[in-house]
């Protein structure tokens, strides 16, 4: 699919919040921290009709860049790949040493996707979701393929 990648601006905050709300809140939990994607820098993808087809947000802290969210509204069309490449480029240009992210143990599609894009397992934070649910009780207990959502899986890519 031919897409255009645009920077998220303040004007995008509304639809980003609406998109995330079905998950139960405007924030996500990563390593015990609340992150508000609508307030973070990021990118969205637009198709040839001007429809939004993807979203990625990130946070740079020191020399590390966390990919906070990545969503392709149409799967297997190259949108996720382009968004990830864009975040990687920004991280590299900002002098980051490491690009990292958290996913959950049930997210087989994402675990496959990241490894195919050159990211590696950095750590598995066993049973981290128990703590996350104290901060966000709406996190479901069961995820993709009926797999209990239990662990945070940390992926990384060392940037040169
Ligand atoms: C993870 C996610 C972002 C991947 O996005 P995506 O846009 O489907 O990914 P891509 O299309 O770039 O790549 C997926 C596969 O489709 C293939 N593909 C890309 N363009 C294609 C095309 N035009 N025709 C057929 N296949 C294509 C890619 O080759 C890739 O396969 P590979 O990994 O074996 O090389 C997406 O699955 C998603 O939004 N998941 C839900 C949200 C989520 O869980 N996010 C991660 C949270 S941590």
Question: Which residue, judged by its Cα, is nearest atom 12 of ligand 1?
Answer: 78
Residue 113: phi and psi, rounded to 5, are: -55, -50
Q: How many CB atoms lie within 10 A of CB 26?
A: 17
Q: Indicate if ligand 1 lies below 6 Å from the C-beta of 77.
A: yes
**Nearest Cα residue to atom 22 of ligand 1:** 77
Ligand 1 contact, 81 CB (< 6 A)? yes
Please give the chain's pLDDT, 160 residues, in tens: 899 999 999 999 999 999 987 656 789 999 999 999 999 999 999 999 999 999 999 999 999 999 999 999 999 999 999 999 999 999 999 999 999 999 999 999 999 999 999 999 999 999 999 999 999 999 999 999 999 999 999 999 999 8
Query: Best of 58, 76, 107, 115 to mutate for ligand 1, by most ligand atoms within 8 A of CB?
Result: 76
Domain ranges in the chain are: 4-158
Do 117 and 67 meet the contact criterion of CB atoms below 8 Å apart?
Answer: no
What pTM was computed for the model?
Answer: 0.96
Measured from the Cα of 101, ligand 1's closest atom is: 48
CATH topology of domain 4-158: Aminopeptidase (3.40.630)
């Amino acid at each position: 699919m031919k897409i255009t990648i645009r920077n998220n601006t303040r004007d995008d905050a509304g639809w980003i919040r609406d998109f995330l709300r079905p998950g139960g809140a405007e924030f996500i939990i990563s390593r015990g921290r609340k992150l508000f994607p609508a307030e973070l820098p990021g990118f969205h993808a637009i198709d040839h009709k001007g429809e939004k087809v993807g979203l990625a947000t990130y946070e740079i802290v020191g020399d590390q860049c966390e990919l906070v969210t990545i969503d392709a509204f149409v799967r297997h069309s190259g949108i996720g790949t382009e968004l990830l490449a864009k975040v990687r480029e920004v991280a590299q240009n900002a002098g980051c040493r490491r690009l990292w992210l958290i996913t959950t143990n049930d997210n087989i599609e994402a675990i496959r996707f990241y490894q195919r894009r050159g990211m590696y397992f950095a750590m598995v934070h066993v049973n981290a979701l128990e703590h996350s649910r104290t901060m966000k009780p709406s996190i479901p207990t069961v995820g993709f393929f009926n797999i209990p959502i239990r662990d945070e899986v940390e992926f990384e890519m060392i940037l040169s």
